[in-house]
Structure 1
């Protein structure tokens, strides 16, 4: 018998900041909409195990999308993008899931993102809580570790947007962020996804990840979890966002809930989905009970 995944892929046209983008997304399941956002420089393939998890898709319509310039979402047609420097801003990061939700007619979806998507979960809860019934920040914090802050975008581009640095090298660099307990086949899959990225895209994403996501203590305290619940999950082996840094955010947000994840790193959804789902399923059950 032929084997298929229960995943459907389509393209939708989204207009953000006056530019029309042809955006690829995959979905599976039915029920409460759950938009999932990928890490910097990668794409929605990171969520393939989640999309095939019947315990999730029984009650949730899971939607994994590729940001423009990532995965199967090409750069915008009719724009001379090759003459411009790619940078992902906070405003644009917020606009894409909002536009996707509007285009698909979603009723207050849940948003879950990892790494830069995890930071976005915090920014969505802060800036537009009326749009989301809950957000789940995977590896989210007030801000990223200071590793590159003093280097600046010029330094980041020198390291990650150098024509002498190929995509495979960037994939290999991700090894530093992965838990040593991760199965090798999963580690290799993360490397492969990063090797497929377009030149300059990972570096451009880091504008948001390292600089434009910079939540103040007052902004965190103002998040209203009665409108949009904020859940936080961070791997104990993540050098970019440590559990201590996520705890600092959780301590400021009234009602936020945080769980450090044992034996997981910066890419928990892909590193070991079997372990990750042990933390995710109770959250999804709570959201369903409160919906």
Structure 2
């Protein structure tokens, strides 16, 4: 008998900014929709442990997708010669298009890093349409990450991005898991990571938006790793202080990629956050 995992992957065509996009979507489970957003320059494989967790998939329909240019998704025909440049407005259109196309009814939206940032804007703009958010490594403002060496003809972009992000894992996380995330990053297309960091570091500022989130309508759980020096615990504490009724937890022994770098230790934090948001 083949030892298949419960994850099912398919392609879906969605309209984003007036263009048809062929995006890769994978999911497992049933119940409350849980839409997962990957980190900059990576793809939905980062959530494979969540989608293989039967206790969670018995309660949640876990859905993750690869952004345009990322992983197994491709840009539309008219985008091939465009330099990847993600913006807040485009990011919001992508997320909205996917959950609408999939018919997700009042989902919980969970994202990490740049995904953990944009879920704050999702909560601010769509708090009447979602149950809530789980922000992993969430910052409302993170300048200073962008640089031209992230996409440079004299530098191997895949190895640079993979090795730079490797350092954002906790030193105590298992080596094989840190290397797995490194491998996913090494496969990123030219300029994709830089284009995402353009959003995260140059375009992103939700410090005023998050003050409008009403946690009686849209619950907010925030989880940040103790060793994260990209989105530090202090940065997420500032977010929590601006959202009355939000729940913030610093994750001991965790870095910037909790769902892939050390899932067993991350799992109790995740279950607590989902219990809070889904209640």
Deviation at 1:2, TM superposition (A): 2.1
On the 8 A contact 2:37/2:44 being kept in 1, the answer is yes
Can you give the 5+ residue segments of structure 2 that lack an aligned partner in the other structure?
A: none
> Which residue in the other structure is 1:19 paired with?
19
Deviations 1:188-232 (A, max 9, x none): 10110010000000000011111222122x432221111211110
Is residue 179 of structure 1 aligned with residue 170 of structure 2? yes
> What's the TM-score, normalizing by structure 2?
0.96
Q: Deviations 1:102-157 (Å, cap 9, x if unpaired)? A: 1111111110000000001111111221221111110002211x433xxxx6xx2x
Q: Which among 185, 188, 193 is matched to residue 179 of structure 2?
A: 188
Once the 2 structures are TM-superposed, how far is the Cα of residue 30 of structure 1 from its aligned partner?
A: 0.2
Q: CA distance change for structure 1 residues 234 and 55 in 2, over 3 Å: closer, same or farther? A: same
In the other structure, the counterpart of 2:83 is 85
Instruction: Output aligned runs, 1:49-128, within 5 Å.
Output: 49-76=49-76, 78-82=77-81, 84-128=82-126
Q: Could you say what secondary structure the match of 1:130 adopts?
A: coil
Aligned partners of 2:276, 2:211: CA distance in 1, in Å? 23
Could you list the runs of 5+ residues in structure 1 that have no partner in the other structure?
Answer: none
Per-residue CA deviations over 1:23-71 (Å, capped at 9, x if unaligned) read 1010000000000000000000000000000011001000010001000
Once the two structures are superposed, what CA deviation does each residue of 1:224-249 show, in whole Å capped at 9, x if it has no partner? 11121111000010011111110011
Aligned 1:1-291 pairs, distance under 5 A? 1-76=1-76, 78-82=77-81, 84-144=82-142, 146-148=143-145, 156=147, 158-166=148-156, 167-216=158-207, 218-288=208-278, 290=279
Q: Answer whether contact 2:84 2:191 (CA < 8 A) is retained.
A: yes
| Count of residue pairs the alignment pairs up | 278
The CA RMSD over aligned residues, in Å, is: 1.2
